[in-house]
Structure 1
Amino acid sequence: MNSSFIGLAAEHGVNFLFQHFRGGFDAFSAVLDAVVKVLQDGLAAVPFVVMLVGFMAIALWRKGVVFAAFVGVALFTINFMGLWAQTVSTLALVIAATFFSLLIGIPLGIWGARNGRAEVVLRSLLDFMQTMPAFVYLIPAVILFGLGRVPAVLATIVFSMPPVVRLTTLGIKQVREELMEAGRSFGSTDSQLLWKIQLPNALPSIMAGINQTIMMALSMVVVASMIGAGGLGEYVLSGIQRLDIGIGFEGGLGVVLLAIILDRLTESFGVKSTKKKRKPQATKQTVPETAQAQP
């Protein structure tokens, strides 16, 4: 089956980049791989008990006793299945991909909210990134960066970045105009309006974007395992290749439990506090009648 003109153009473009900028790609790959390796080794060095207590403490702080108990049971189950090392590897991959997605995506979302033409271009680009099958990202990533963690992280970044860009733009555009006018009336600059009015009020929407970015990054773990990313995805892939239901189910369960924990925790940071300060109730006082109608 031969490619059309469009496919050949894409192939020539990737080959051109590989032939003329191979040194730059190799250097970038070495740096990114070192960053992910340091993160993965750092998480792996933390004892399971310390990680368990840390996650349960955060869950207790953000969601309460019930969710903290669930986190404890979930992490203990993962460790009991012998998947803790794979879970740490997956967590490192998700953290790295999410960090770079936010580093690029939030500024793009701000730019799109403040520039109409940029928003039009970004919307088309994000549509392309979200609808293109994830497997397609792996082909140029492997050609340019080889097998391993680096192409997996880059493919995950491309796949998981759109939600944070979209929701950052949406959150900033939904800031009430009265607040903006009040800031301008006090002489605030554009930078002050952004940092003191727009971003704080858009924080729930931005946090929802971060939450969705993490979830989409987790959904890539099995796909990324095909190019050497490792982690829980490799365990699931092994079950698929062997047609082993037990291995596949355990790997999938590990992904699900990790996803629930990360989803609920990140979601809690975007929810505004519903606790309201109790206002002292005014005591009703009977006012004596000073005058009565005389018959």
Structure 2
Amino acid sequence: MNSSVIGKFAEDAVNFLFLHFRGGFDAFSASLGAVIKLLEDGLAAVPFIAMLVIFMGIAIWRRGVVFSVFVGAALLAIHYMGLWTQTVSTLALVVAATFSSLVIGVPLGIWGARSNRAEVVLRSLLDFMQTMPAFVYLIPAVILFGLGRVPAVIATIVFSMPPVVRLTTLGIRQVREELLEAGRSFGSTDAQLLWKIQLPNALPSIMAGVNQTIMMALSMVVVASMIGAGGLGEYVLSGIQRLDIGIGFEGGLGVVLLAIILDRLTESFGVKSKKKKARKKLVATPADPATPGKTAQT
């Protein structure tokens, strides 16, 4: 089946990049590969018991005792199934992809919030990125970077970045105008408004974007096992290739347990931020000294 003019254009663009910038892609691939390996080796060097205590401690801090018990049981189940090494590998890939997505996505979201033209362009680009089937991202990634973890992480970054960009823009745009006016009346610069008013008030929305980015990165890392990402995705892929229900179920269960842990922990940061904002609002409401002559009404 031959591709149309549009498909031929996309193919020519990727081939042009490969032919003329191959050295740059190789250098970038080597650098990113070293970072991923360092992260994976660092996580793998931590003993399972220590990792179990760390995750359960964070779970108690953020969600309470009940969720901490669930986290302990989930990690013990993963270890019992012999999937701890694959889980650590998947976690390293998700952390690398999520961190890169945030480094790129949050500034883009701020840009979109401060410029209507940028927001229009970004919205169209993000629509394209989110609706394109995940498998399509693997093709140019393999052509430009070969097989392995590096193209898997790059494809994951492209696939998982839209939520944090969208929700950062949305959160900043929803900051109340009276807060901005109050900041300007005290002589705040645009940078001070951003760091001291807009970003703190937009934090719940941004954390929701972080949460969604992590979930999408985890789903894409599993898909990227087709190009050598390794981890739990490779275990699931092995079950599909062998038509082995047991292996496939164990790999899928490992992904589900890891996803629940990461989802609830990252979600807790946004929930706590919302509660803190609501508490401040209640404290400031009964008698607002900034408004002379205003009396509390019953």
TM-score by length of 2: 0.92
CA deviation string 1:239-258 (max 9, x = no partner): 00000000000000000000
Deviations 1:57-114 (A, max 9, x none): 0000000000000000000000000000000000000000000000000000000000
CA distance in 1, matches of 2:142, 2:217: 18
Partner of 1:199: helix, strand, or coil?
helix
Please list the CA deviations of residues 206-256 of structure 1 after superposition, one character each: whole Å capped at 9, or x if unmatched: 000000000000111221100000000000000000000000000000000
Residue 264 (structure 1) aligns with:
264
Residue equivalent to 1:47: 47
Distance 1:99 1:222 in 2: 18
More helix by share: 2
Letter of the aligned partner of 1:92 in structure 2? A
What residue is the counterpart of 1:289 in the other structure? none
Matched, 1:123 2:113: no
Distance in 2 (CA, whole Å) between partners of 1:111 and 1:266 is 24
Identity level (%): 86
* 1:219 correspondence with 2:219: yes
CA distance in structure 1 between the partners assigned to 2:93 and 2:15 by the alignment: 27
Q: C-alpha deviations, 1:168-214, integer Å up to 9, x for none?
A: 00000000000000000000000000000000000000000000000
1:220 aligned counterpart, secondary structure? helix
Q: Which amino acid aligns with 1:256?
A: V
Aligned equivalents of 1:272, 1:203: Cα separation in 2: 10
Say which is worse superposed, 160-169 or 218-227, in terms of deviation. 218-227
Q: CA RMSD in A?
A: 1.3
d(CA) in 1 for partners of 2:17 and 2:221? Answer: 27
Match of 1:92 in 2: 92
Question: What amino acid is the match of 1:25?
Answer: F
Q: Give the alignment of 1:1-295 within 5 angstroms.
A: 1-272=1-272, 274=275
Q: Note if contact 2:153-2:221 (Cα within 8 Å) is conserved in structure 1.
A: no
The 4+ residue runs of structure 1 with deviation greater than 2 A are 272-279
What 5-or-longer segments of structure 2 have no aligned partner? 284-298
Give the letter for the 2:22 counterpart: R
The amino acid that maps onto 1:191 is: A
Secondary structure in structure 2 of the residue aligned to 1:87:
helix
Amino acid at match of 1:225: S
Aligned residues of 2:138 and 2:151 also touching (Cα < 8 A): yes
Gap runs ≥5 in structure 1: 280-295
Q: Given the two structures, how large is their TM-score scaled by the length of structure 1?
A: 0.93
Give the AA of the match of 2:251: G
Query: One-letter code of the match for 1:249?
Result: F
- How many residue pairs match? The answer is 279
Letter in 2 for 1:185: S
Structure with greater Cα Rg? 1
Question: How far 1:272 moved relative to its partner?
Answer: 3.1
Match of 2:288 in 1: none
